[in-house]
Chain A
Amino acid sequence: GDSVTQMEGPVTLSEEAFLTINCTYTATGYPSLFWYVQYPGEGLQLLLKATKADDKGSNKGFEATYRKETTSFHLEKGSVQVSDSAVYFCALLDSSYKLIFGSGTRLLVRP
């Protein structure tokens, strides 16, 4: 079945550092891809998405590009802030319209 693999955390960075969180997927066809973020004590919220190959999703300084050649959707941000500390989930929408989530990557940004 379809699956999503994310890099294990926690990822610890200093403020203003560059962020990359790796995400790869296995799926039939070319599913839509998503990044969701979960702040402490809250539910998940959509960060960005891409619906086809070579699309770039972006929001709040975060970006991810849909790469079908490498089946990847890595999340990047040029300069992280303390307020970006959260758990980030990569996900795909499978053929049954279900979101398949990765295991999540915790990001901790230190001042």
Chain B
Amino acid sequence: DAGVIQSPRHEVTEMGQEVTLRCKPISGHNSLFWYRQTMMRGLELLIYFNNNVPIDDSGMPEDRFSAKMPNASFSTLKIQPSEPRDSAVYFCASSTARGHGTQYFGPGTRLLVL
């Protein structure tokens, strides 16, 4: 099993640019989660999907952030426009069922906004 796949692994961009992060969950998993990790705020849940439907996006910091899951094998997290305070590691995780609690994390995308 390939595990959760995220791309890119590293992204450096300039303030104001659009950033798109990608995630491929483990096949057969029907819940997908996007997290952000920073030293100051720790690990924050941004949004999660169940069966491709967004269930809770209360953690999305503001309108500059958006997430989609067009099918069971792909999700994107977009930041437009990006700001330096968005610099963080973004993780995608998937699980077999939203009530399960056992989530499988990808390796993360390290984003630096200059």
In the complex, what's the smallest C-beta–C-beta distance from A82 to chain B, in angstroms?
Answer: 22
| B99 beta carbon closer than 8 Å to chain A | yes
What is B's interface to A at a CB cutoff of 8 Å? Answer: 4, 31, 33, 42-43, 45, 48, 56, 91, 93, 98-99, 101-108
The 8 A-B pairs with the shortest beta carbon distances in the complex, nearest first, are A43-B105, A93-B101, A97-B98, A44-B105, A101-B43, A103-B42, A32-B101, A97-B99
Q: Is A98 an interface residue (CB 8 A)?
A: yes
Instruction: Write the nearest CB–CB distance from B40 to chain A, whole angstroms.
Output: 11
The answer to whether A42 touches B107 (Cβ under 8 A) is yes
Chain B residues, Cβ within 8 Å of A41: 107
B68 to chain A, nearest CB (A): 20
Given A97-B99, A98-B45, A98-B48, A45-B105 contact (CB < 8 Å): yes
Q: How many residues of A contact B (CB 8 A)?
A: 19
What would 11 more interface pairs be, CB under 8 Å, given A43-B105, A91-B101, A101-B43?
A: A32-B101, A42-B107, A43-B107, A43-B108, A44-B91, A44-B103, A96-B56, A97-B99, A98-B45, A98-B56, A99-B103
